[in-house]
């Protein structure tokens, strides 16, 4: 009768945290959740309780703050009673930590990333690779690596990344991946040379390689150079094409016969002879290739002929882009918040093209600041007739809408330029309808987008002042989103636990919040559920979920699933937190 539950409890990884500072505790819990989302995390009130928990069930990791313990000696005693348990001891610079050589000391204050790295090393030394196929992704763009890593990790692949050829050679020998995704241009070695070295090494010779590149002409003869290259994934590519390429090539036994048709592709661009000996590049932003057909890689790649049929997905844009595609993505894996923060942090100038709730929405940015949002669908942009337009001849308004359908220039700019309305009301309407339009993209279930980097913007943007604060612009836009717009996306379990992301607490301090938003944000402590927050603030649950949606979309907060009843009965994370700090 009792053997099955005993085996079940053994499979549950248990972590114990002793920390009295609520802010630091919330940060620690957030990090542990990232590393071990299925683990049972107990927050102990004192060392004795931590000892009792470890006596009941094996504990994989202690996180012990010496300041929260009565004295260092009791922590040393705890370590001596449970020598097989990994431990992270948090201590101030002046704290006495003698006799804890078997524990890993972390001096306060510390960065979340330091704790995350240490806990990752202790809990996941092998990244839980058993049972999962490993993909090595090689690219010198950190953004590209992060994007591909998120997509593949979400699909339950083990992902190893490398930024240079040298790192890649070492990682391929140590990790022995099942598949390698290789950027053709790396800072220290071209992709074809690296693939030859991998093929020549008996430890990595049988690992299949797929190139990621927009330089098709350089790769036409790759098969003659290296038998381990199975195909080419043209940049830019969609999430679906990436996942299908990985799946198809992992299921294939690499051989000369299998590889032969795999390298036959129609390339997105023709590269002349002068590019055959492409020099090493210092950096290459993801998808920054010469005039690619954005997000149509599905139709231009062939991994093994008929057995890798291209997907029939609609093109995102009707025509090619004049500038370089600095990044592209899809909102389930690459949030709008992250995309706009990259634009701001890198001081980029260009256009963020997106297609989701609307067929085609453009956001113009100048030196990292948002200028305006528009679309060529004049009726979608402003279907009603604002009071400001009442005294303007309807024919002139119709002509301004027609101009917008052709150039994207918002009708208010055209009317102001013609002297038919004052500049200040035009700017106010421009901001209002632009943010209202972009709000529909926030609420759409899935949006594809790409940032086209250019040196100049259309002339109709020249007189428009840019918004100085990207973060506040995003929040202002999200305020246009209403509960009925996000019935599915904001359908959170009322018992879910909102908690700050790694940098969420710092970012929320800088936002210009309303009183209601500030009160709502003050409730996030890694313990209170959405329902509890709503009760505390006397809010309608639907409105609470809408407010939470805005913080989630800003990447300030993440929503943890509610604790299982069994874990609650065992005195798990959230029950212990509530018992210690109350509601």
What residues contact residue 516 under an 8 Å CB cut-off, 6+ apart? 547
Q: Which residue has the higher pLDDT, 565 or 389?
A: 389
Residue 299, pLDDT > 90, answer no
Q: Which two tokens stand for residue 303?
A: 């991994």
CB 282 within 8 Å of CB 163 = no
**What's the confidence (pLDDT) of residue 359?**
67
Range in 196-200, 312-316, 405-409, 564-568 the model is least confident about: 312-316
Residue 131, pLDDT > 60, answer no
**What's the confidence (pLDDT) of residue 180?**
93
Dmax (CA) for the chain in angstroms is 86
361-366 vs 350-355, strand pairing mode = antiparallel
Q: Which helix (H) or strand (E) holds 412?
A: helix 411-417
* Single pTM value for the model: 0.50
CA distance 123 to 354: 39
CB 33 within 8 Å of CB 59 = no
**What's the confidence (pLDDT) of residue 341?**
92
pLDDT in tens, 194-209: 888 898 888 888 899 9
Q: At what angle do helices 470-478 and 541-553 cross, to 10 degrees?
A: 150
For the residues of 307-366, what is the DSSP string, one character each? GSPPP----SSSS--SSEEEEEEETTTS-HHHHHHHHHHTT--EEEEEESSSS-EEEEEE
The residue written with tokens 């040196």 in the block is 455
* Domain boundaries of the chain, sorted by first residue: 3-123, 134-307, 324-478, 483-567
Topology of the domain comprising 3-123: Rossmann fold (3.40.50)
**Exposure string for 321-356, b = 16+ CB within 10 A, e = fewer:** bebbbbbbbbbebbbbbbbbbbbbebebbbbbbbbb
The correct answer on CATH 3.30.930.10 for the domain covering 134-307 is: no
Residue 249: C-alpha distances to residues 173, 233, 371, 527, 538 (Å): 20, 11, 43, 43, 54
Residue 368 zone, left/alpha/beta (φ > 0; ψ -120 to 50; rest): left
Backbone angles phi, psi at 207, to 5 degrees: -85, 120
pLDDT in tens, 352-373: 999 875 568 999 999 999 999 9
**What's the confidence (pLDDT) of residue 102?**
53
pLDDT in tens, 214-260: 654 445 554 455 678 888 887 767 777 788 889 888 876 444 333 33
Percent of the chain with pLDDT over 70: 75
pLDDT in tens, 159-177: 898 888 888 998 888 888 9
pLDDT (average), residues 515-541? 89
Percent of the chain with pLDDT over 90: 19
pLDDT (average), residues 33-59? 82
Q: How confident is residue 67, by pLDDT bands cut at 50, 70 and 90?
A: confident
Q: How confident is residue 347, by pLDDT bands cut at 50, 70 and 90?
A: very high
CA angle 339, 341, 347 (to 5 degrees): 105
Range in 111-115, 403-407, 555-559 the model is least confident about: 111-115
Range in 28-37, 423-432, 452-461 the model is least confident about: 28-37
**What's the confidence (pLDDT) of residue 29?**
85
CA distance 435 to 420: 23
Q: 3-state class of 143 per DSSP?
A: helix
CA distance 157 to 394: 58
């Amino acid at each position: 009768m009792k053997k099955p539950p005993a085996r079940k409890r053994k499979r549950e990884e248990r972590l114990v945290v002793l920390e009295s500072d609520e802010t630091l505790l919330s940060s620690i819990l957030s990090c542990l959740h990232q590393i071990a989302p299925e683990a049972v995390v107990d927050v102990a009130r004192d060392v004795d309780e931590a000892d009792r928990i470890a006596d009941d069930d094996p504990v994989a990791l202690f996180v012990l703050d010496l300041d929260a313990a009565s004295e260092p000696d009791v922590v040393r005693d705890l370590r001596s009673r449970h020598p097989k348990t990994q431990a992270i001891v948090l201590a101030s610079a002046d704290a006495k930590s003698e006799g804890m050589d078997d524990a890993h000391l972390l001096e306060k204050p510390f960065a979340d990333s330091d704790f995350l790295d240490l806990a990752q090393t202790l809990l996941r030394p092998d990244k839980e690779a058993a049972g999962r196929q490993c993909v090595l992704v090689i690219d010198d763009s950190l953004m590209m690596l992060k994007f591909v890593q998120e997509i593949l990790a979400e699909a339950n692949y083990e992902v190893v990344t490398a930024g240079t050829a040298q790192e890649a050679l070492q990682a391929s020998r140590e990790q022995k991946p099942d598949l390698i995704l290789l950027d053709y241009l790396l800072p220290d070695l071209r992709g074809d040379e690296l693939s030859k070295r991998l093929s020549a090494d008996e430890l990595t010779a049988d690992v299949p390689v797929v190139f990621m590149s927009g330089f098709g002409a350089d790769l036409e003869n790759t098969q003659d150079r290296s038998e381990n290259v199975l195909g080419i994934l043209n940049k830019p590519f969609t999430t679906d094409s990436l996942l299908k390429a990985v799946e198809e090539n992992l299921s294939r036994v690499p051989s000369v016969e299998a590889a032969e048709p795999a390298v036959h592709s129609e390339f997105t661009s023709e590269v002349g002879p002068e590019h055959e000996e492409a020099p090493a590049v210092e950096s290459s932003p993801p998808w920054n290739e010469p005039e690619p057909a954005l997000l149509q890689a599905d139709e231009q790649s062939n991994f093994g002929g008929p057995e890798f049929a291209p997907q029939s997905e609609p093109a995102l844009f009707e025509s090619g882009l004049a500038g370089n595609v600095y990044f592209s993505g899809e909102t389930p894996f690459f949030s709008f918040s992250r995309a706009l923060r990259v634009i701001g942090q890198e001081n980029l100038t260009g256009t963020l093209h997106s297609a989701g709730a609307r067929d085609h929405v453009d956001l113009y940015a100048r030196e990292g600041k948002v200028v305006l949002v528009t679309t060529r669908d004049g009726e979608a942009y402003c279907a009603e007739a604002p009071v400001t337009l009442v005294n303007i001849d309807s024919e002139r308004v119709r002509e301004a809408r027609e101009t917008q359908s052709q150039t994207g220039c918002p009708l208010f700019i055209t009317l102001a330029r013609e002297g038919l309305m004052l500049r200040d009301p035009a700017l106010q309407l421009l901001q209002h309808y632009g943010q209202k339009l972009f709000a529909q993209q926030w609420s759409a279930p899935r949006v594809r987008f790409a940032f086209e980097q250019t040196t100049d913007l259309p002339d109709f943007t020249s007189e428009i002042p840019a918004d100085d604060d990207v973060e506040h612009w995003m929040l202002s836009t999200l305020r246009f989103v209403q509960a009925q717009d996000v019935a599915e996306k904001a359908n959170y379990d009322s018992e879910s636990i909102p908690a700050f992301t790694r940098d969420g607490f710092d970012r929320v301090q800088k936002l210009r919040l309303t009183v209601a938003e500030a009160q709502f944000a003050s409730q996030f402590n890694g313990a209170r559920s959405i329902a509890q927050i709503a009760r505390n603030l006397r809010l309608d649950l639907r409105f609470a979920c809408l407010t939470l949606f805005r913080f989630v979309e800003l990447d300030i907060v993440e929503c943890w699933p509610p604790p299982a009843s069994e874990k609650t009965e065992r005195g798990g994370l959230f029950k212990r937190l509530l018992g210690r700090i109350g509601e």
